[in-house]
């Protein structure tokens, strides 16, 4: 399928389509157009021209490109987690570069709880989606997750433990990307959230802050562990009034920050588990700037929007592009049978100092 056809269907130029699909460093000025191009390329099963060139040169080319499903575990929309949205965009580029096709993009709502079959067989997980139920069921039997040929799965986020054995039966290979490492249950690329949190808290403490609030997930969450451990290392007592459990969305960050602003005991610094939360925090501070409360704010991820806030957000950079590249490499390597043990690759994170943190 040619770039010209994609350009016709998306109402743009061939040059723009080529830059979006074939240039990993290109940043389209219109994100909606870029997503439309990606969606059209997926629909038409587009693969880069490099594979056509390989055919002309007489090189062996797999007639059936490897299909990769993506499971987004935390939210039902990438718009709620911009870290995984950017990682997903990087992954789309990697799929094209490697001649793979993007398959189904699955959310948590696509799965139901484990169901025990009456005949004592292994428990299987049916789809919740009505379309998938119709596609896989026969007669009046439950639609069980059947194996998918030539298809791998990339998990973005924390996969429910009980789901992993069933997914391994369905897919030729599984690899995950997250800030929370698993217990070597499948191949994974991680940037340890605990380490990232420790870097953030250490920086705040170096600025003189000891009254530091945490906004984010507290349920087996490595970033919360890193926050707590850093305070312990500096003999700073944990103030439970400074802990604000959330699902780490911008809206919740905004709501929590409004609560903090209205409280009597306000912290001098705010540590957000991700940049999305911090965007809401900064928005609330901007709306209440007349109150004169200006805490330091730091977070984790370094998404694109972090450098466009006012003040610009100090954050911990998670190498999303490298994670996307490596997780697909692990998936393809596993599919080829080139490694058998579950592999964990851990990448470093780094502090990005901008304007949102100050000395106390």
CATH class of the domain defined by 193-318: alpha beta
What pLDDT is recorded for position 15? 82
What pLDDT is recorded for position 313? 97
The residues spanned by each domain of the chain are 1-46, 193-318
Please indicate whether the domains covering 1-46 and 193-318 agree at the CATH topology level: no
What pLDDT is recorded for position 49? 53
Q: What is the pLDDT of residues 32-75, one digit of tens each?
A: 888 888 888 877 767 655 544 454 455 555 458 899 999 998 88
What pLDDT is recorded for position 34? 82
> Pseudo-torsion of CA 167, 170, 174, 180, nearest 10°?
-10
* pLDDT mean across residues, the chain: 84
280-291 burial code (b ≥16 CB/10 A, e <16): bbbbbbeeeeee
Task: For the chain, list residues with pLDDT below 70.
Answer: 1, 23-27, 45, 47-63, 111-146
CA–CA distance, 287 with 258 (Å, rounded to integer): 9
CATH class of the domain defined by 1-46: mainly alpha
How far is C-alpha 345 from the geometric centre of its chain's CA atoms?
Answer: 16
Hey, what are 279's tokens?
Answer: 């965007």
242-275 burial code (b ≥16 CB/10 A, e <16): bebbbebbbebbbbbbbebeeeeeebbbbbbbbb
Q: How many CB atoms lie within 10 A of CB 65?
A: 16
> Are the C-beta atoms of residues 271 and 210 closer than 8 Å to each other?
no
């Amino acid at each position: 399928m040619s770039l010209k056809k994609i350009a016709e269907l998306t109402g743009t130029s061939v040059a723009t389509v080529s830059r979006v699909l074939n240039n990993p460093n290109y940043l389209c000025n219109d994100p909606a157009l870029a997503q439309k191009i990606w969606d059209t390329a997926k629909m038409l099963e587009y693969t880069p021209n490099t594979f056509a060139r390989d055919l002309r040169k007489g090189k062996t080319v797999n007639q059936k490109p490897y299909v990769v499903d993506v499971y987004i575990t935390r939210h039902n929309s990438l718009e709620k987690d911009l870290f995984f949205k950017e990682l997903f965009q990087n992954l789309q580029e990697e799929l094209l570069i490697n001649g793979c096709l993007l398959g189904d993009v699955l959310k948590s709502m696509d799965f139901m709880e484990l169901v025990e079959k009456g005949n004592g067989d292994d428990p299987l997980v049916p789809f919740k989606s009505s379309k998938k139920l119709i596609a896989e069921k026969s007669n009046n039997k439950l639609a069980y997750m059947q194996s998918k040929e030539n298809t791998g799965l990339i998990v973005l986020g924390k996969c429910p433990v009980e789901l992993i054995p069933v997914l391994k039966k369905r897919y030729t290979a599984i690899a995950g990307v997250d800030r929370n490492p698993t217990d070597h249950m499948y191949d994974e690329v991680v940037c340890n959230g605990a380490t990232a949190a420790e870097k953030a808290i250490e920086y705040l403490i170096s600025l003189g802050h000891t009254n530091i609030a945490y906004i984010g997930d507290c349920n087996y969450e490595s970033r919360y562990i890193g926050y707590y451990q850093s305070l312990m290392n500096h003999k700073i007592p944990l103030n439970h009034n400074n802990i604000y459990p959330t699902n780490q969305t911008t809206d919740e960050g905004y709501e929590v920050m409004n609560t903090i602003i209205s409280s009597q005991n306000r912290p001098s610094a705010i540590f957000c588990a991700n940049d999305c939360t911090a965007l809401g925090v900064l928005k609330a501070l901007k709306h209440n700037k007349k109150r004169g409360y200006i805490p330091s704010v730091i977070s984790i991820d370094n998404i694109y929007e972090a450098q466009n806030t006012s003040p610009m957000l100090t954050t911990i950079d998670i190498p999303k592009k490298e994670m996307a590249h490596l997780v697909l490499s692990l998936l393809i390597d596993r599919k080829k049978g080139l490694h058998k043990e579950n592999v964990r690759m851990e990448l470093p994170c780094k502090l990005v100092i901008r304007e949102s943190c100050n000395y106390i």
